[in-house]
Amino acid sequence: MAKDVINLTTSYIYDADLRIEANRQGKNYWYEYIKEMNEQLGLRAEEMSRNSLEDAATLNEVNILFIGDLTEAQITETMKSNLDAWVKSGGVLIGFGTEGLDEIFGNSCDSITPQTESDYTISGYFDLRSDPLTTDVHSYLHPEPKTEGAPRFHREQSEQKLIIFSNIRNISPGNSTEIARLYGIDETDTGYAAITKRDYHNGHAYYFAFNVPQTIWVLHQGIPITHDRDGDGYYRTGDLIAIGDNEREVLYADEILFLIQNMLAQKPQPLIYQMPPKACPERGERDDQIPDALFYWGGDDEAAAGTQVWASNWMKEKGLPYHINIMPNRDGKFAMTAEEAKAILANGHECSLHYNFWDNFNHPCGFTESDVRAQAEAFYQTFGFRHVCSVNHCVRWSGWAEPAKWMRAVGGRADNSFIHHPLPPMNPANRLGFVFGTSYPFYFYDNYIGENRKIDFLEEPITAYEVGYSSSETTDFDSVHKVIDIAAKYHLVMDMFYHPVNIYRHPACREAIEEALRYIDSKGIIAVHKGNDGLWEWWDKRSRSQIADVTVSDETVSFTAVCESDEGMIVKVPLNTSEHSVMRDGRGTSFKNRFEFGRNWLYVIVPKGKHKITISTRD
């Protein structure tokens, strides 16, 4: 090993006093969501107080630093001087609307564009410029110029700018390079940059002119439901959607994270991959266990008696996992028996609760904690076990984070009700969409009354809903191919939502599922398949897994990985060369190189437990 060895540490500036003060004023502390951003990235960053910036020695122990929406008054001259020297000496600084550090980032700020109306209002747009950092980040589904006057949802292959939800600092590059251009709410060019980069001596300074955690949080959890916002006559998750009439097929939040991932990649920062290894126990560990995409399969029984076990048996024949949500009817009775549920579980499939907040409600209206408790208890009394991931019939919702707290209180761990498409239509089948900005699961965070705490309850957003057919006898395989292609390219966690009643009744539905499997195989895509409960279990254990003690020299990258999942996990590391050898606990192990987002990434499998990984690089 070379003599010059550094400990690679990534941190984010965080001070609880700022959150407390914002909450005291009746406001959400939006920067809190930096924690969830790191969770989705698989980044194990450490908290660091802003006062630590006063101490150059403490700062020098960090290699990558996120800094949020601090005001100029909160940045002292000593902090500026220390940060300037730190970046010059090799640090990577990523700022989110930070004031007082424009000289370091290489920008000047002319003015502020305030977010009008509310914290949930679109305040601007941006698009990515051609740059090594932005390579392949923006979706290929919507790259072309728009057709004048055409409504967004009726334009095919239309360009879609990304969206901002926060105040915006109108910045001009000086010693920096613009990598994203800022547009107004009417999408006119403002002449300002939205994102800049600066290669500053030996380091890098990246700047977002807006509050990234706020933007991603609003995209994920949406707008609190206070009325029937979309006018469909009900309180449904469609009323949460914040993107307005913008394209539904764009990964608004994920694309920002893909870009941040490339910024982090200036250092060989290990990240926990979003999916586990593909199980191949008979062959041992191989690089073909590193998947391209994860698909999770489930659907609601719609209280259609006699369809559930048949659908489960059919899915088992196809070698697929499956998750069935069981709904009580208007009389509170379930259309499945405990014996049928046991048969489904015996197939290796999952049963859960399909909350019915539809029948016997005076719409438009919300639902209450007591409504949740009553149906959860009825499910337990009928089937003898607690549900894990539930769905609300017709994707009903109430308020903002409240249902997540109520469902967690009765033993639930996840929800699958965040719709993929604006409402109406009542049931937007055969469509792909990411109207909450992501395909990945995310944890709910409470509002300011609940001190913006993380809620241990996961959202598994609907993304691909009954894709591949348009009627009982009419298939649409192009839509299946679209779903699988984008999932494989961006390594997405994709919800494949098919109701058991449709599998039972519609030959075209079954053909669509068969075509999905055929297409995955024909394209050589390595796929992991799960049910909704299995996805929650994986994501929960991924969340509790760790990467620590990262050290870097000219010739090696090493780290300790602690995996909590029986399936193992995968760690990916950005490296400048594809020539490597990898050791796990002193023995050689398999790995895979992928060239993605303009750079090489090494993927290595880590089994359950604590392991030492050492990557030797050769130019």
Reported as a single tens digit per residue, the pLDDT across 361-384 is 999 999 999 999 999 999 999 999
Reported as a single tens digit per residue, the pLDDT across 3-44 is 578 999 999 999 999 999 999 999 999 999 999 999 999 999
Reported as a single tens digit per residue, the pLDDT across 94-146 is 999 999 999 999 999 999 999 998 999 999 999 999 999 999 999 898 874 44
- DSSP annotation of 363 reads S
0.75 exceeded by pTM = yes
Who contacts 56 (Cβ-Cβ below 8 Å, separation ≥6)?
Answer: 82, 85, 86
Domains and CATH numbers, the chain: 6-221 (3.40.50.880), 298-540 (3.20.20.370), 545-617 (2.60.40)
Closest CA relative to residue 496, chosen from 351, 321, 347: 321
Cα separation, 513 vs 318, whole angstroms = 9
- Secondary structure of 346-385 in the HEC alphabet? HCCCEEEEEECCCCCCCCCCCCCHHHHHHHHHHHHHHHCC
Q: What is the pLDDT of residue 578?
A: 77
Average pLDDT over every residue of 192-198: 98
Does the N-terminal peptide bond of residue 151 adopt cis geometry, omega within 30 degrees of 0?
no
Cα separation, 226 vs 118, whole angstroms = 13
Pairing status of strand 203-208 against strand 168-173: unpaired
Cα separation, 207 vs 180, whole angstroms = 10
- Torsion angle of the four alpha carbons 194, 198, 203, 207, in this order, in degrees rounded to the nearest 10: -10
Who contacts 576 (Cβ-Cβ below 8 Å, separation ≥6)?
Answer: 599, 600, 617
Tell the burial category of 143 from Cβ atoms under 10 Å away from its Cβ (0-12, 13-18, 19+).
Answer: exposed
pLDDT averaged over every residue in the chain:
94
Cα angle for residues 75, 81, 87 (degrees, 5° grid) = 105
pLDDT exceeds cutoff 60 at 1: no
Strand order across the beta sheet in which 599-606 lies: 271-272, 569-575, 599-606, 591-596
Tell the burial category of 125 from Cβ atoms under 10 Å away from its Cβ (0-12, 13-18, 19+).
Answer: buried
Helical (H) or strand (E) element with 87? helix 77-88
Q: What is the pLDDT of residue 144?
A: 46
Is 49 in a helix, a strand, or coil? coil
Residue carrying the six token digits 């072309």: 144
Closest CA relative to residue 538, chosen from 499, 573, 498, 493: 493
Q: What is the pLDDT of residue 285?
A: 60
| DSSP per-residue codes, 528-551 | EEE-HHHHHHHHHHHHH-EEEEEE
Does the N-terminal peptide bond of residue 173 adopt cis geometry, omega within 30 degrees of 0?
no
Q: What is the pLDDT of residue 148?
A: 39
Cα angle for residues 189, 194, 199 (degrees, 5° grid) = 130
DSSP3 helix / strand / coil % (the chain, rounded to 5): 30, 30, 40
Does the N-terminal peptide bond of residue 424 adopt cis geometry, omega within 30 degrees of 0?
yes
pLDDT exceeds cutoff 90 at 58: yes
Cα angle for residues 511, 300, 330 (degrees, 5° grid) = 140
Diameter of the chain measured on Cα atoms: 73
Average pLDDT over every residue of 456-472: 96
Cα separation, 296 vs 322, whole angstroms = 8
Q: What is the pLDDT of residue 576?
A: 87
Length of the chain counted residue by residue: 619
| DSSP per-residue codes, 181-220 | EEE-TT--EEEEEEEEEEEETTEEEEEESB-HHHHHHHHH
Reported as a single tens digit per residue, the pLDDT across 399-425 is 999 999 999 999 999 999 999 999 999
Strand-pair partners of 516: none
Closest CA relative to residue 376, chosen from 355, 396, 345: 355
The answer to whether residues 493 and 74 touch, using CB atoms and an 8 Å cutoff, is no
Q: What is the pLDDT of residue 158?
A: 52
- DSSP annotation of 291 reads -
Q: What is the pLDDT of residue 366?
A: 95
Q: What is the pLDDT of residue 159?
A: 83
Does the N-terminal peptide bond of residue 425 adopt cis geometry, omega within 30 degrees of 0?
yes
Cα separation, 203 vs 88, whole angstroms = 5
Reported as a single tens digit per residue, the pLDDT across 257-299 is 999 999 999 999 999 999 999 987 555 566 679 999 999 999 9
Cα separation, 611 vs 613, whole angstroms = 6
